[in-house]
Amino acid sequence: MIFQAMPRLVFLTVLTLTGLALPGVSVSSPSSLPDSEEYIFQELLQPDSVITLTLQEAVMEALEHNLDIQVSRQTRDVRLTDIVFQHAQFDPTVQLGGRYDRTVIPLNRPIFGFGGVTLGADPDTFDQNETNFNLGLQQKLLTGGSYDLTFDTNRNSVAGSTSFLFNPSYTSNLAFTLTQPLLRNFGPSINNIQITLAQNAADVEQLTLLNQILSVIAQVEQAYWELVFARENLKVVRATLQAAEELLASNRAKVKAGVMADVEALQAQAGVANQIEQILLAQKTVLDQEDQLRLLLSNSELKLTQTTPLVPLDPPIQHLQETPLKENLEVAFEHRPDILQAKKNIETSTVNTRFAKNQLLPDLSFQGSLGLSGLGKNAGDNWDRVGSTDFYNMGGGLVLSYPIGNRSAQSQYQRRVLETQQSQVSLLRVRQQIILDVKEAIRQVQTSFKRTRTNQTARQLSERQLKAEQERLNLGLSTTRLVLEFQRDLRIARGRELRAILDYNQSLSRLRLVTASTFDHYHIEVQ
């Protein structure tokens, strides 16, 4: 009676320690066990449906919804606005104005000799009304110069008798002023520099975006294969549990037949309880990996709270893929975002150096102006005289300035030269790092593939050892403890084989990352 009660007591203790005896978690009985012994593990999660997902689908969903990619894309878009800002400095500016003034002041003398004021009398009054409208256009030119085109018209009237030819009178002036550097800051190549720098900065952010996309895709691939491993490892643990249950059923039959001691059945039952714990841990790993993959694929908190299982559909690759070093290095040198960024930095430094060299020149500028004037008793006469070009003004000249010593420009030029040299050295360092990354990734691929073959052999040997030990147990030449140990060894061997296969697939992902060949692999084009 004591030995009959022990199995139930041991199992209930295991249930309590492992957390299986929790509210909402039921326990069922397998057909191989007596109905009185209910301790088979049931799934903690009983979903009504699952979400199937290929690796290609996972990658595409991450590209659409991943938050890291969205942040990097927005940063790139911010840089694009800087290009428009720099172009805007060459946009023309229009200015329109109007003004009315009236002036009534006392005079201490006759107005131009016609005031009629005598000594000691009250002062005469000067009453003037003036209305003015003006229109202007200003623009900075790509040549480095700027122009200012203005037109203003004015109506002026003075109350009383005056010596003016026209009262009221209308006057207009059309003026054009041009300032053009001839040495320093001359030419489109110099004045386009800020636009070029803004474009380069946007290109660098675009490459940063590409690098972020490559990183996210690699993370998705790693998470996808980790989920595959977790689910397959759960199958391995369940198979081990089934083998332990079969051993327990066999031992109980032998105990009942009187050909085996009760302790052997107790050891088998303890083995079943140990495998239940392994299933709990394996199932938790599956749920954790599902959440990690959801985090990469979604930007919604609601989706992160979902518990619908994710089922990967793609099987892992198990055949050796060729990884020639020369070809992979050529691809990496052509497509790696970091080497393209290093080249872009050299271009930026070269542009800055060219500008700094230009600033060493003296500042020699041409300044010229041309104007037309008109006057009339009405607006029509006034504009006709402006159009006749009879009344004009013109002029021009050169202005030269140069700071003595010019140390500021000299120091900036030397700094830009050093920055260019530094950028060139950085490019060499990036190329060296790419070589190391590619070589390491290729070695990892080759090593992981060899591990799959080695662990496959180890798993096959563990299967043979377990089978031989089970036969010895049936003949009474072994013990349940040894069989359980061989079952555990087989579970570990299967797990290692599976780990090696998934490590091989992850190493292929790593190689695509360091060579930036991911886009070609998934046929993705980033615009």
- The per-residue pLDDT for range 191-209, each reduced to its tens digit, is 999 999 999 999 999 999 9
Number of domains within the chain: 2
b/e sequence 376-414, b meaning 16+ C-beta within 10 Å: beeeeebbebbeeeeeeeeeeeeeeeeeeeeeebeebbe
- Concatenated DSSP letters for 285-327? HHHHHHHHHHHHH---HHHHT--PPEEE-PPPP-SPPP--HHH
Give me the residue label for tokens 């039921």. 26
User: How is residue 151 written in tokens?
Assistant: 């037109």
* CB under 8 A, 24+ apart: contacts of 423-427: 423/342, 423/345, 423/346, 423/348, 423/349, 424/346, 426/342, 426/345, 427/339, 427/342, 427/343, 427/345, 427/346
Region of 437 on the Ramachandran plot (φ > 0 left; ψ -120 to 50 alpha; else beta): alpha
- In the predicted model, is pLDDT for residue 32 greater than 70? no
Helix boundaries (H) for 150-192: 188-191
The answer to whether 202 touches 83, Cβ cutoff 8 Å, is yes
* pLDDT score of 18: 37
Question: Distance between CA atoms of 177 and 367, rounded to whole angstroms?
Answer: 8
Residues 175 and 292 in one domain: no
Of 487 and 29, the structure prediction assigns the larger pLDDT to 487
Mean pLDDT, residues 312-329: 93
Parallel, antiparallel, or unpaired: how do β-strands 146-158 and 310-312 relate? unpaired
| DSSP type of residue 50 | -
Residues 272 and 173 in one domain: no
Q: What is the mean pLDDT of the chain?
A: 85
- In the predicted model, is pLDDT for residue 169 greater than 70? yes
- In the predicted model, is pLDDT for residue 40 greater than 50? no
Is 82 part of any domain?
no
User: How is residue 516 written in tokens?
Assistant: 């930036």
Mean pLDDT, residues 313-324: 92
The answer to whether 94 touches 207, Cβ cutoff 8 Å, is no
* pLDDT score of 518: 93
Lowest mean pLDDT among 110-119, 255-264, 323-332, 359-368: 110-119
Lowest mean pLDDT among 158-162, 225-229, 494-498: 158-162
* pLDDT score of 109: 62
- The per-residue pLDDT for range 66-81, each reduced to its tens digit, is 888 888 888 888 888 9
User: How is residue 461 written in tokens?
Assistant: 């040997």
252-to-10, 257, 306, 343, 364 alpha-carbon distances in Å: 16, 8, 43, 74, 107
* pLDDT score of 424: 96
* pLDDT score of 426: 95
Question: Distance between CA atoms of 356 and 352, rounded to whole angstroms?
Answer: 6
Place 13 in a pLDDT band, splitting at 50, 70 and 90. Answer: very low
Residues 469 and 496 in one domain: yes
* pLDDT score of 301: 84
Give me the residue label for tokens 């030990």. 469
Question: Distance between CA atoms of 526 and 298, rounded to whole angstroms?
Answer: 20
* pLDDT score of 36: 30
Residues 389 and 463 in one domain: no
Output phi, psi for 368, to 5 deg.
-140, 155
Is 507 part of any domain?
yes
* pLDDT score of 260: 84
- The per-residue pLDDT for range 267-282, each reduced to its tens digit, is 888 989 998 999 999 9
* pLDDT score of 37: 33
**Final residue belonging to a domain, choices 401, 416, 447:** 401
Residues 257 and 336 in one domain: yes
Output phi, psi for 419, to 5 deg.
-65, -35
* pLDDT score of 517: 94
- Concatenated DSSP letters for 366-426? EEEEEEEEEEESSHHHHHHHHHHT-SEEEEEEEEEE--SS-HHHHHHHHHHHHHHHHHHHH
Judged by DSSP in three states, 154 sits in strand
Residues 267 and 393 in one domain: no
Region of 19 on the Ramachandran plot (φ > 0 left; ψ -120 to 50 alpha; else beta): left
Is 433 part of any domain?
yes
Place 24 in a pLDDT band, splitting at 50, 70 and 90. Answer: very low
Is 430 part of any domain?
yes
* pLDDT score of 118: 53
Domain, as residue range, for 149: 92-140+145-184+368-401
Residues 169 and 273 in one domain: no
Place 44 in a pLDDT band, splitting at 50, 70 and 90. Answer: very low
- The per-residue pLDDT for range 206-260, each reduced to its tens digit, is 999 999 999 999 999 999 999 999 999 999 999 999 988 988 888 888 888 888 8
User: How is residue 20 written in tokens?
Assistant: 């299986």
- In the predicted model, is pLDDT for residue 493 greater than 90? yes
Q: What percent of the chain has pLDDT over 90?
A: 61
- The per-residue pLDDT for range 387-411, each reduced to its tens digit, is 998 999 999 999 999 999 889 999 9
Is 415 part of any domain?
no
- In the predicted model, is pLDDT for residue 121 greater than 70? no
Mean pLDDT, residues 327-353: 95
Output phi, psi for 50, to 5 deg.
-130, 165
- In the predicted model, is pLDDT for residue 16 greater than 60? no
Residues 52 and 176 in one domain: no
Is 293 part of any domain?
yes
* pLDDT score of 33: 33
Place 26 in a pLDDT band, splitting at 50, 70 and 90. Answer: very low
Preceding amide of 106 cis, omega within 30: no
* pLDDT score of 65: 85
- The per-residue pLDDT for range 401-444, each reduced to its tens digit, is 999 988 999 999 999 999 999 999 999 999 999 999 999 999 99
The residues pairing with 395 across neighbouring beta strands, listed in sequence order, are 369
Half-sphere exposure in the Cβ direction for 361 (13 Å, CA): 14
List the 363-376 sheet strands across, edge first. Answer: 93-107, 124-140, 146-158, 169-181, 363-376, 392-401
Is 238 part of any domain?
yes
User: How is residue 103 written in tokens?
Assistant: 């002036």
Residues 331 and 460 in one domain: yes
Residues 202 and 323 in one domain: yes
CATH of the domain at 10: 1.20.1600.10
Residues 325 and 428 in one domain: yes
Distance of CA 20 to the CA centre of its chain: 44
Helix boundaries (H) for 148-192: 188-191
Is 407 part of any domain?
no
Helix axes 262-297, 55-65, angle to 10 degrees: 40
* pLDDT score of 261: 86
- In the predicted model, is pLDDT for residue 355 greater than 90? yes
Residues 165 and 252 in one domain: no
Of 427, 426, 524, which Cα lies nearest the Cα of 214? 524
- In the predicted model, is pLDDT for residue 120 greater than 90? no
